[in-house]
Structure 1
Amino acid sequence: MENISTTIMTADDEPGYDPNLFCIPKRYAQDLEKVLIPYGLILDRTERLVQEVMKEMRDHHIAILCVLKGGYKFFADFLYYIKLVNRNRDQSIPLTVDFIRMKSYCNDQSTGDIKVIGEYDFSTLTGKNVLIIEEIINTGKTIQTLLSLVKQHNPKQVKVASLLLKRTPQSMGYRPDFVGFEIPDQFVVGYGLDYNEFFRDLNHVCVISEVGKDKYKA
Structure 2
Amino acid sequence: MQQDIERILIDRHTIANRVREIAEQITADFQEEGTPGLPEITIVPILTGSFMFVADLVRDLPLRMQIRLITVSSYPGTSTESKPAKIGSDLDDLPASLAGSHVLLVDDILDSGQTLRLVSELLSAKNPASLKSCVLLRKKRPAAMQQPVDYVAFDIPDEFVVGYGLDYDDYYRNLPDIVVLKPDVVSQQQEG
Counterparts of 1:82-97 in structure 2, within 5 Å, are: 82=61, 86=62, 93-97=63-67
Q: Which letter maps to 2:81?
A: Q
Distance in 1 of aligned mates of 2:101 and 2:158: 34
Bigger Cα displacement from structure 2, 201-210 vs 164-173: 164-173
- Any gaps of 5 or more consecutive residues in structure 1? 1-27, 87-92
Distance in 2 of aligned mates of 1:202 and 1:164: 16
Secondary structure of 2:90's counterpart equals coil
Asked if the contact 1:30/1:212 (under 8 Å) is kept, the reply is: no
Q: Deviations over 1:141-191 (max 9, x none)?
A: 110000010001111100011111111244371031011110010101000
Secondary structure of 1:66's counterpart equals strand
Which residue is 1:131 aligned to? Answer: 104
Q: Percent identity?
A: 30
Which residue is 2:22 aligned to? Answer: 49
Which residue is 2:140 aligned to? Answer: 167
Distance in 2 of aligned mates of 1:153 and 1:80: 26
Residue 43 (structure 2) pairs with residue 108 (structure 1): no
TM-score calculated relative to the size of structure 2 = 0.88
Paired residues, what number?
181
Correspondent of 2:155 among 182, 188, 196: 182
Secondary structure of 1:197's counterpart equals coil
Residue 182 (structure 2) pairs with residue 203 (structure 1): no
Which residue is 1:99 aligned to? Answer: 69
Asked if the contact 1:31/1:213 (under 8 Å) is kept, the reply is: no
- Answer 1 or 2: which has greater helix percent: 2
Which residue is 2:50 aligned to? Answer: 71
Which residue is 2:115 aligned to? Answer: 142
Secondary structure of 1:131's counterpart equals strand
Secondary structure of 2:171's counterpart equals coil
Which residue is 1:119 aligned to? Answer: 90
Aligned-CA RMSD value: 1.5
- Any gaps of 5 or more consecutive residues in structure 2? 32-37
Correspondent of 1:212 among 179, 185, 190: 185
The structural deviation recorded for 1:216 is 2.8
Q: Deviations over 1:60-87 (max 9, x none)?
A: 21101111000000001001111xxx3x
Q: Deviations over 1:28-77 (max 9, x none)?
A: 23322100000111000000000000000023211011110000000010
Which residue is 1:16 aligned to? Answer: none
Asked if the contact 2:138/2:156 (under 8 Å) is kept, the reply is: yes
The structural deviation recorded for 1:214 is 2.2
Distance in 2 of aligned mates of 1:124 and 1:189: 35
Secondary structure of 1:198's counterpart equals coil
